[in-house]
Amino acid sequence: MNSFIDEVMGFDSTSLDVFQEKPQSKGNVNIYKTNPADSKAEDGHYHSKVRILYNPLNLKRSIVHQAVYVLHDKQGTLIVKSSLGDGDKSCPLFTGWKALHYAKMPDPENPTKTIDDMEKRAWGDEKYEKNESDWALVQILEDDNKPELVGQIKAMKLPKVVLTKLTAKMNPSADSKKAPVPVMDYLIGIPLDIDVTPGPDDPKNPQRKQREISYDLCDFDTDYAPIMKVDGTPLFTDEEIETIDAFNEAKALINGKAKTAKAKEDAEKKLAGMTEAVKALYQKALDYLKDEAHVIDLVAECGYTPWNPEVSERVSKWIASIAAMKDPLVEDINETAAPAAAEEATTEAAPVEAADPAAQMAAGDLPF
């Protein structure tokens, strides 16, 4: 009590929080963005280099597909992630859109037949705003625009052109006769050179929103780069790098660079003799990522999770309002009879800082 009295007696009324200048929000700190508006290069392009990483908490879900719906009503804007991102087409929002998009009406020229209800289709297509994207973890290797980020691991939305190139390397078609390249591998993965081209808007003019940007110039290096510590210093010793070099060379020979059967056989023997040493290096990388780098849980933060009851109710009423051809921005959706409550999910549309990860990757999942 005395401490409070002492504080209030000498309190400076101008120091109330409400009177203080609020720091400007910089968005989600766990997301890596490469907007040319932030470029410090003379050409106005955003240049950097990153390593796309396997998800240490769920190897098979190293790329997370996200489906997000944006709902507008009199309460404001609600952004929800949909189970459609996991391939679940029973999502209430998806089925609500589908009911309108494929709605039928009696054919005025032939009452025994039906035709597409174009009014309902146009209405539903306008009101259901859906965005789909793919997310992965990246480690920033170089970035002169934001040098403080070098070494850090963030979530990044993969542009379509980058995802296409990544897929072509990691999952080549049988007809290409190319061996898969482990782009996201902790030891021998290859970096992505980012070169984001500005659009018609002036990237140096903060008054103009620059939206038409291109990732077409982004491409993968030809040489590998092991992960590093989050402070930008090497994770592996010089001796360990030599082991990684030998491992990478042996794999390359096995995957097609060997000119003779004897060379390939020798490489296979060499690789077999290195297995335990290489496993130890993968374990070192994995331990560092999970225990010291504190990477976010990509699946939990970027993927679909159940809606809470409040969100479920609001979404259900919004769907009912749209189905009744009533605009939720004008009509009170609480007066619209809502269908059965939707299944549960989260309102988060982008990654946030994750809690302590609990998922573990078994030794048998080591990516080699």
Nearest to 132 by CA among 363, 349, 351, 353: 349
Question: Angle CA(108)–CA(110)–CA(116) in degrees, nearest 5?
Answer: 60
Residue 238's pLDDT band, with cuts at 50, 70 and 90, is: very high
- 242 in the same domain as 135: no
The region, left, alpha or beta by phi > 0 then psi within -120 to 50, assigned to residue 325 is left
274 falls within a domain: yes
pLDDT by residue (tens digit) across 273-330? 999 999 999 999 999 999 999 899 999 999 999 999 999 999 999 999 999 999 999 8
Does 355 or 274 have the greater pLDDT score? 274
Cα–Cα distance between 338 and 170 in angstroms, integer? 46
Cα–Cα distance between 244 and 218 in angstroms, integer? 26
* Of the listed ranges 5-14, 185-194, 214-223, 237-246, the one predicted with least confidence: 5-14
Residue 348: pLDDT over 50: no
Does 207 or 347 have the greater pLDDT score? 207
What pLDDT, on the 0 to 100 scale, is given for residue 332?
78
366 falls within a domain: no
Name the phi and psi angles at 109, rounded to 5: -90, -15
27 falls within a domain: no
Contact 303, 85 (CB under 8 A): yes
Residue 50: pLDDT over 70: yes
Residue 359: pLDDT over 50: no
Residue 352's pLDDT band, with cuts at 50, 70 and 90, is: very low
* Of the listed ranges 18-27, 30-39, 279-288, the one predicted with least confidence: 18-27
Residue 22: pLDDT over 90: no
What pLDDT, on the 0 to 100 scale, is given for residue 213?
86
Tally of structural domains, the chain: 2
Residue 7: pLDDT over 60: yes
What pLDDT, on the 0 to 100 scale, is given for residue 211?
59
The alpha carbon dihedral of 182, 303, 218, 45 has a sign of: negative
DSSP symbols for 55-106: -TT-GGGSSEEEEEEEEEETTEEEEEEEGGGGT-TT-HHHHHHHHHHT-EEE
Residue 365: pLDDT over 50: no
- 340 in the same domain as 191: yes
* Of the listed ranges 178-182, 296-300, 363-367, the one predicted with least confidence: 363-367
Q: What is the mean pLDDT of residues 65-77?
A: 96
144 falls within a domain: yes
- 224 in the same domain as 160: yes
- 305 in the same domain as 285: no
What pLDDT, on the 0 to 100 scale, is given for residue 344?
41
- 145 in the same domain as 275: no
Does 339 or 141 have the greater pLDDT score? 141
Does 1 or 102 have the greater pLDDT score? 102
What pLDDT, on the 0 to 100 scale, is given for residue 338?
46
215: domain CATH number is 3.90.198.10
> Which range marks the domain in which residue 319 is found?
33-230+293-350
Q: What is the mean pLDDT of residues 93-100?
A: 97
- 313 in the same domain as 251: no
Percent of all residues in the chain with a pLDDT value above 70, rounded to a whole number: 80
Does 361 or 339 have the greater pLDDT score? 339
Q: What is the mean pLDDT of residues 25-52?
A: 89
Q: Is 205 exposed, middle or buried (0-12, 13-18, 19+ CB in 10 A)?
A: exposed
- 200 in the same domain as 253: no
Nearest to 56 by CA among 316, 286, 332, 288: 286
What pLDDT, on the 0 to 100 scale, is given for residue 201?
57
To which residue do tokens 């087409």 refer?
89
C-beta neighbour count of 107 within 10 angstroms = 12
- 113 in the same domain as 253: no
Residue 27's pLDDT band, with cuts at 50, 70 and 90, is: low
Contact 135, 156 (CB under 8 A): yes
3-state class of 194 per DSSP?
Answer: strand
* Of the listed ranges 106-110, 196-200, 349-353, the one predicted with least confidence: 349-353
- 306 in the same domain as 327: yes
Contact 361, 59 (CB under 8 A): yes
Does 145 or 10 have the greater pLDDT score? 145
9 falls within a domain: no
Q: What is the mean pLDDT of residues 323-343?
A: 71
Cα–Cα distance between 333 and 329 in angstroms, integer? 9
Strand 64-73 and strand 129-142: the pairing is: antiparallel
263 falls within a domain: yes
Residue-averaged pLDDT of the chain: 85
162 falls within a domain: yes
- 202 in the same domain as 147: yes
| pTM greater than 0.85 (yes/no) | no
Percent of all residues in the chain with a pLDDT value above 90, rounded to a whole number: 71
- 78 in the same domain as 41: yes
127 falls within a domain: yes
- 178 in the same domain as 46: yes
